Homo-oligomer: A and B are copies of this chain.
Amino acid sequence: MTLDDDEKALSKVTARRDALLQRARTLHISTSSNSGENIEWGVAPYIRRNNVFYIYVSELGGHVRFMLDKRPVLFSIIEDEKVAKNIWARIRLKFTAEISEIKRGEAEFNAICDDIGDHHGSVMTVIREFSDFHLFAIDPKKGVIVTGFGSAFKVSGNDFKLESRLSSNG
């Protein structure tokens, strides 16, 4: 590959990353128990503000209880099956993050819940007062983006800056 080809490849991946983040509405959450023997997985609608993701989720979900227990979490965002050009290479991003809970009563809580409601509809009005729900701020640290068959890049920071090409799909 020439330098030009490299730049073209990078700008294509960048465009796909940005389109994925703009279009996707939910985050996948994978986590495990202390021993690593129990795996939990869930999905949650998100909003993204200043590169930080916010989700509002119920502790009735095992994955949320593990988040509250500060277990390691891997987040993922993936394009729909239907829009994937190649089902073997759905465009997807996975990442670790710094997770913090924003408690009811904190200054940000109401503003962010309002934003989630604006973005994801009226269910928020119903669940907003439910005490089993928690608001989390998710600040991405590092991860991998896959944008095609054999096209995978390491990313870093909450802007998912492309770092280096991986020899695998990560």
A residues with CB within 8 A of B: 24-26, 28, 30-43, 45, 58, 60-62, 71-74, 76, 78, 80-83, 86-88, 90, 92, 94, 120-121, 123, 127, 149, 167-170
> Which of B34, B39, B82, B94 is A82 in contact with, Cβ under 8 Å?
B82
Q: How many copies does the complex hold?
A: 2
Q: How far is the CB of A3 from chain B (nearest CB, A)?
A: 26
Given contacts A30-B30, A167-B60, A168-B58, contact A123 B88 (CB under 8 A): yes
Find out whether the CB atom of B60 lies under 8 angstroms from the CB atom of A168.
yes
Find out whether the CB atom of A74 lies under 8 angstroms from the CB atom of B26.
no
Find out whether the CB atom of A168 lies under 8 angstroms from the CB atom of B28.
no
Question: In the assembled complex, which residues on chain B have CB atoms less than 8 Å from the CB atom of A40?
Answer: 30, 74
